[in-house]
Structure 1
Amino acid sequence: MAKVENMTNNGGYIIDVRTTAKTIIMKIVGSFTPDQAEQFHLDYRKQISIISTIDFVLEVDCREMKAINQEMIPRLIRSYQLYKESNYKKIIFLVNDNEAIQEQLYQVAQSIKLPNYQIISQIKRAKT
């Protein structure tokens, strides 16, 4: 299946459905505008519409994501609701050592009772 990419100077996303590996890899970069968030929800629904997500792992790479402002929290909640409705085998959020982002992701997951999720912190290492 084709990869969907929507990037701007401020940020964006990639949704890559890997059917043979039964994995959906999503990368979230920077911050979204409200319009980008709406487009993300449309692209997400389209990408998963022809697969049985119950057998899939959703891996969301948030290592380049910026903290969410209050205006965008409802859109983040909507994204998590879509993940919950998709009924994945497992959901993994990859984060860096930014505690604010880790806390936001955790709070939203707890607020909607997102099942089968894990937040994995991967500390950035300087290149030598």
Structure 2
Amino acid sequence: MKALVIDDSRTMRRIVSSVLRGIGYEAIEAGDGQEALDALEATDGVVLCCIDWNMPVMDGLTFVTKVRERAEWRDITLMMVTTEGEHAQIVRALAAGAHEYLIKPFTPDALRDKLELLGLLPVQEVR
């Protein structure tokens, strides 16, 4: 299973990618929403995107909106992984098409729990 980790912080991309690889994902990384759209164009089989909100070039909410406009990407699960924790921001992201929302900082177990809720844990990881 492939996951796309989208964050302008290289450190945060590495943290999220490391957790995902540890549970069986192939992680691909992008530094902003436009780079992520380009990666989706070039890569088949992405089932999950972990998306930061605040990024240069294209923010996470715009990325979510653009992904939801494309029929071929409708089955990709979109999860915001961001410091934006206000209720209004969460509502906006979910209304735009995000499936789940995880507020930074988070623990690896919190990320695994969200994936379990979404039915996206590889079989060997299901608890």
| TM class, shorter-length | 0.3 to 0.5
More strand by proportion, 1 or 2?
Answer: 1
Q: Normalization by structure 2: what TM-score?
A: 0.44
**Structure of higher CA gyration radius:** 1
TM-score (norm 1): 0.44
